[in-house]
Amino acid sequence: MADLQPLEQILGVTFQNTDTLRQALVHRSYLNEHPDFMLGHNERLEFLGDAVLELVVTEYLYLHYENPEGELTNWRAALVNADTLADICESLGVEAYLYLSKGEAKDKNSKARHYILANAFEAVIGAIYLDQGWESSKKFITDTVLIELPKILQHQLYLDPKSRFQESAQEKHGVTPIYKVLSEEGPDHAKVFQVGVYLGKDLVTVGIGTSKHEAQVAAAATAITKMGW
């Protein structure tokens, strides 16, 4: 059994029952290889943590901002989406403590790992809530998630990449980006699209995805970085 005390120090929480934290780190795949493991997987804790996270963030936005409901909804979505949570989870070093199957442990840079990290972070929140209660959960979320809000607002990260790139392109160059499919490969059930995003006749960058929309979003996100926007 891994010693979780270093992780508790990172999280800033000392658990009454360390197994509650340990269960938050158990991915379903680990139990397929270790059916006799004493704890279950983390999906129920993830379910709980997701609700606690959303309520804490919603309460904070409601109390601190007078903006319309639609804007607050977009801000909340940017704070609690898988990208944000996976990045926070990774920055905290939680990944080193996850219980994963051998296959999942090797697959470090996939979309699947991305979601495993996001889900584990929500499960950790659920564990903190169960073991320590509302106030501790609220403090943890404030210190790790809500701290990201100024950056999200400053860089308009609550807008999807296509909207952000379009707004910047229209503001700075007076043009609307155009997306063109450059290539389409693979069988129907596993196609890969390569999409270019253009400003006028100039190709800015290319994105790749398993759908046209996904490739467009990838192209827009890369274009924002490339243009320094």
- pLDDT reported for residue 111: 77
Count of all residues that appear for the chain in the document: 229
Three-state DSSP at 15 gives coil
Return the CATH number at 202: 3.30.160.20
What CA–CA distance (Å, rounded) separates 188 from 132? 49
What CA–CA distance (Å, rounded) separates 123 from 26? 9
Establish whether 122 is an annotated binding residue.
yes
State which of 132, 154, 176 marks the end of a domain: 154
What CA–CA distance (Å, rounded) separates 46 from 37? 19
Sheet holding 192-199, edge to edge: 178-185, 192-199, 202-209
For 195-221, letters b (16+ CB in 10 Å) and e give bbbbbeeeebbbbebeeeeebbbbbbb
Positive or negative, the CA dihedral 84, 82, 192, 214 is: negative
The reply to whether 118 and 214 lie within a common domain is no
- pLDDT reported for residue 164: 84
The reply to whether 166 and 100 lie within a common domain is no
State which of 112, 139, 154 marks the end of a domain: 154
The reply to whether 148 and 100 lie within a common domain is yes
Which conformational region is residue 69 in: left (phi greater than 0), alpha (psi within -120 to 50 degrees), or beta? alpha
Positive or negative, the CA dihedral 165, 167, 173, 176 is: positive
The reply to whether 120 and 185 lie within a common domain is no
State which of 122, 137, 154 marks the end of a domain: 154
What CA–CA distance (Å, rounded) separates 213 from 215? 5
The reply to whether 137 and 196 lie within a common domain is no
* Spacing of C-alpha 190 from chain mean position: 24
- pLDDT reported for residue 108: 77
The reply to whether 57 and 170 lie within a common domain is no
Q: Which amino acids are annotated catalytic?
A: 50, 122
The reply to whether 27 and 44 lie within a common domain is yes
Tokens of 127: 């564990």
Q: Which domain holds residue 131?
A: 5-154
- How many domains, the chain? 2
Residue with tokens 């977009």: 74
The reply to whether 132 and 169 lie within a common domain is no
Tokens of 168: 């910047």
The reply to whether 42 and 126 lie within a common domain is yes
The reply to whether 140 and 174 lie within a common domain is no
The reply to whether 71 and 120 lie within a common domain is yes
Establish whether 46 is an annotated binding residue.
yes
Backbone angles phi and psi of 141, in degrees to 5? -65, -40
pLDDT in tens, the chain (229 residues): 889 999 999 999 999 999 999 999 999 999 999 999 999 999 999 999 999 999 999 999 999 999 999 999 999 999 999 989 999 999 999 999 999 999 898 887 777 898 999 999 999 999 999 999 999 999 999 999 999 999 999 988 888 889 889 989 999 999 999 999 999 998 888 899 999 999 999 999 999 998 999 899 999 989 999 999 8
